[in-house]
Amino acid sequence: MTMQTSRRAFLSGLGLVIGVALAPRGFAADALERGDLAGAPGVPAFNAFVRVATDGTVTVLSKHIEFGQGPYTGLATLVAEELDADWAQVRAAAAPADDKIYANLLFGIQGTGGSTAIANSYEQMRKAGATARAMLVAAAAETWGVPASEITVVKGRIAHAASGKESGFGELADLAATMPAPENPVLKDPADFVLIGTDLPKLDTVAKSTGRAVFTIDVQAEDMLVAMVAHPAHFGATVKSVDDAAARAVPGVLDVKTLPQGVAVYAENTWAALKGRAALAVDWDLSKAETRSSQQIEADYRALFAEAGHEAKKAGDVDAAFAGAGLTVIEREIVFPYLAHAPMEPLDAVLMKNADGSIDCFNGAQFPGQDRAAIAEVCGVDLSQVRINTQFAGGSFGRRAQFGSPYIREAAAVFAASGMARPVKHLWTREDDIRGGFYRPTYLHNLKGALDKDGNIVAWRQHIVGQSLMKKGEFDESTVEGAADLPYGIPNLRVTATATDLPIPVLWWRSVGHTHTGFAVESFVDELLQAGGKDPVEGRLALLGDKNPRHAGVLTRVAELADWGGPIPDGRQRGVALHKSFNTYVAEIAEVSIEGGKPRVHKVWVAVDCGQPVNPNVIRAQMEGGVGYGLGAILFDQVSLGDGGKIVQSNFHDYRSLRIHEMPEVEVAVIPSREAPTGVGEPGVPPIGPAVGNAWRRLTGQPVRRLPLSSAELA
Amino acid sequence: MVTFTLNGKDIAFDGDPDTPLLWVIRDEAGLTGTKYGCGIAQCGACTVHLDGMPRRSCVTPVSTVEGSDVVTIEGVSGAEAAAVQAAWIGLDVPQCGYCQSGQIMSAVALLQLVPKPSDADIDNAMAGNICRCATYVRIRRAIHDAAATLEG
Ligand code: FES
Ligand code: FES
């Protein structure tokens, strides 16, 4: 294919271009050769994670992508603590792709997800900081001719009291980088922490409050094309034929190519690509497509409740318990819809081939090693010839973490088909995003519980039907996590799962299995407690017993915070939910009223125990965001298939996001702790749905049988 | 040929007059602080000031801005902008940050019109700006903080 440069739209009068990330070809390759990983040439490297520049700036290379959950700030805090740096001298930048050096220690490859960034890096990053500190001290000792043991480091100043010598980090950086790195540097006693546990300002806030932060969509390369792909409106459909005459006639459109993923339009600019794509007439082959509607899929799932399912958890004898006399038995079905992640920045990537044949990719890489391998394979170059330049990403919520990198495969296929002569920016629109699959799967839960005459829960049976995220066929822990390990002391318990197989691609969505198990368990336990005449807080505490102190701790704390049992304004009710996910414990109380026949959430109280808090400011932010993200989903969101299997929703008008007037006040208590830190990106999400649903049931007498709440027949 | 000013500089654009202002700002002028989020006036990520009023640039054909003054996050200035950005930084409002240029442009326009907005004023002015990270609690607080700063 030859791509001809069409005349670019004439633009004059712009002397200075601000805020644009222009990446000349070969730029990244040069940078890497210079060892310039942090984007500043010639900066002494102390180890894979720490650079100290001669001006004293400390740059921490984050092996985890920053998409709002705070790892740049969190990981840099861990380094700065042990380095005894002053926070004002600390910066963060993306580490390059390397599945060994930058592996997530819990995954074995480089990757961000499962709320693990702080948990897996806690020791590693502190060690990186302590190592760099020891090297700086060694350099000072050598320069000043004094014993290293007499040197102190406080807030970025290295000093030797006896001789009165003092220095910043910068003056010693070059020499320090040549010092041997200690194998096992001594880490601080947590009692001596000065940065960990404090509300340090986030490192990316200023760039993100001035429009200067660069995301993938902002990367502009010299001579770059913009490409978009027309995708089918049915999952599993393929291209039968294309009439591209009208698309090619659009000024600025350079070429059209049919790929396995759809039909790619290449253009000189975004508008021409959009117009060109809209002008395509594509005939799709539906022979292998999903053509059932959401209602049909739901009915097919319901029929699977008749099967036994794979047993994920068994305690006591459930069948015998349900056969007992004098019991109150309640049965409940809950239907969960497909959910799109809808990160604010739709998926995108910029690919360019350098003069030496190597390829640079700029993208929001959540699994950079996977992305790198996908590009090497699709573009037919050696793995060593591909570099991933991880950019800030406009959210993810799970969407950018894909084994096998299907999105990047599409971008690479588009790039390869172009001939790779010019850099290509591959963009998804919001429509591509909402209709692009990789959803939180649809699930049906069937729950059955029995109460004895004193209102105690004596039996619990739960059957979950839906697609397996890990494609494990028979059994997938992520389908039952949060249900099979429920903390409550119920003597007779059985949790089973049936995996289904559909051509609708599915993926983890902020908090994975807990998105539905948390809702089902916490709604049903609350309903049973109410039926048994128990208080939601006291009843849960009794079920937790004395073996679950951290669960009980957050529940007790949130009850205090909300003044549980105190007066509530007329027309409002409160709902409680408690859920552990990713080893973080969260309890939430939501105060809800009915407005226009729908729930209106006024205030949410949150207590979170994530072990040693690294940055309480970030923890509170993630709880606030988790509440808002989860609330929007349970109130409004579903991706549904209409008659014939066509995807119904397409953009924010019918895949609603929570908006500011729907956001409750949120008050967060972070539990002080010296336990190992755990993550906060996801765990704020699971409790909000059931907390609101439980308040709704108390307001209306109607348990939630279907999400989103706006789709249910509300009282 | 369409002519207008962008952050005070003269612009002459002779491409497709239907091109949304958003893509002229981003692709042609190279100012990337203004973001794409939906393309259908649903999310507010593309908010700019057109002759002082907030406008969704994704649905504004460039032909309609002839003779106008367009201001983006890169060029926004004045007491309200300074107060809003300081409040945003003080409260660490952004998470992923992608929506925040649009949020700030809407907030600045609100304060220029209503110096001491109520919660209801904030709801009205900001309901068109989606934040998928749901930073709304802090956005609200930051607008109140900025209003307090401006009051002196
Ligand atoms: S991109 Fe313009 S409102 Fe969403
Ligand atoms: S900060 Fe991420 S969308 Fe608003």
Closest CA to A614 of A101, A123, A178: A123
The ipTM assigned to this model is: 0.98
Residues B12 and B49 in one domain: yes
Residues B143 and B85 in one domain: yes
Distance from CA of A250 to the nearest CA of B (A): 10
Nearest chain B Cα to A15, which residue? B9
Interface test with B, best of A20, A77, A344 (most B CBs within 10 A): A344
HEC string of A638-675 equals: CECECHHHCECCCCCCCCCCCCHHHCCEEEEEECCCCC
pLDDT at residue A101, as a whole number: 87
Of A21, A70, A343, the CB nearest to B132: A343
Helix axes A688-700, A616-636, angle to 10 degrees: 50
Set of chain A residues whose Cβ sits within 8 Å of the Cβ of B94? 68, 202, 204-205, 208-209
Distance from CA of A384 to the nearest CA of B (A): 30
User: How does A458-495 read in b/e, with b if 16+ C-beta sit within 10 Å?
Assistant: bbbbbbbbbbbbeeeeebbbebbbbbbebbbbbebbbb
HEC string of A124-135 equals: HHHHHHHHHHHH
Residues B59 and B37 in one domain: yes
* Closest atom of ligand 1 to CA, residue B56: 2
Contact between A598 and A298 under an 8 Å Cβ cutoff? The reply is no
Q: How far apart are CA A234 and CA A291, in angstroms?
A: 7
Which structural domain, as residue segments, surrounds residue B142? 79-151
Retrieve residue A473's tokens. 């066929």
What mean pLDDT value characterizes chain B?
Answer: 97
Residues B102 and B128 in one domain: yes
Go through the domains of chain A in sequence order and give each one's CATH number.
Answer: 16-210 (3.30.365.10), 218-287+347-427 (3.30.365.10), 294-339+439-714 (3.30.365.10)
Cβ-defined contact of B136 to A344 (cutoff 8 Å): no
Going by C-beta distance under 8 Å and a sequence separation of 6 or more, which residues neighbour residue A222?
A22, A23, A24, A25, A423
Residues B8 and B64 in one domain: yes
Residue B127 Cβ < 6 Å to ligand 2: no
Identify the three-state secondary structure at position A39: coil
Q: Total structural domains in chain B?
A: 2
Residues B114 and B86 in one domain: yes
User: Could you report the per-residue pLDDT of B17-70, keeping only the tens digit for each?
Assistant: 999 999 999 999 999 999 999 999 999 999 999 999 999 999 999 999 999 999
Set of chain A residues whose Cβ sits within 8 Å of the Cβ of B100? 208-209
Ligand 1 pocket, mutate which of B35, B46, B72, B101 (most atoms under 8 A from CB): B46
- In chain B, which residue ranges form alpha helices assigned H by DSSP? 21-23, 79-90, 100-113, 119-126, 136-151
Residues B54 and B83 in one domain: no
Q: What phi-psi label fits residue A590: left (phi over 0), alpha (psi between -120 and 50 degrees) or beta? A: beta
Distance A712 CA to ligand 1 centre (A): 29
Residues B122 and B65 in one domain: no
pLDDT at residue A37, as a whole number: 41
Q: In the β-sheet with A58-62, what is the strand arrangement from edge to edge?
A: A50-52, A58-62, A90-94
Residues B85 and B65 in one domain: no
Domain CATH for B93? 1.10.150.120
Cβ-defined contact of A68 to B136 (cutoff 8 Å): no
Residues B22 and B64 in one domain: yes
Question: Which stretches in chain A have pLDDT values below 70?
Answer: 1-42, 472-474, 712-715
- Last-in-domain residue among B30, B51, B71: B71
- Last-in-domain residue among B16, B42, B71: B71
Domain CATH for B63? 3.10.20.30
pTM of the model: 0.94
* Closest atom of ligand 1 to CA, residue B46: 2
Give residues (CB < 6 A) around ligand 1. B 36-39, 41-46, 56, 58
Residues B146 and B102 in one domain: yes
Set of chain A residues whose Cβ sits within 8 Å of the Cβ of B74? 18-19, 211
Q: How far apart are CA A524 and CA A485, in angstroms?
A: 15
- Last-in-domain residue among B71, B91, B125: B71
Q: How far apart are CA A360 and CA A412, in angstroms?
A: 11
Ligand 1 pocket, mutate which of B34, B42, B129 (most atoms under 8 A from CB): B42
Residues B83 and B142 in one domain: yes
pLDDT at residue A21, as a whole number: 52
Retrieve residue A102's tokens. 């930058």
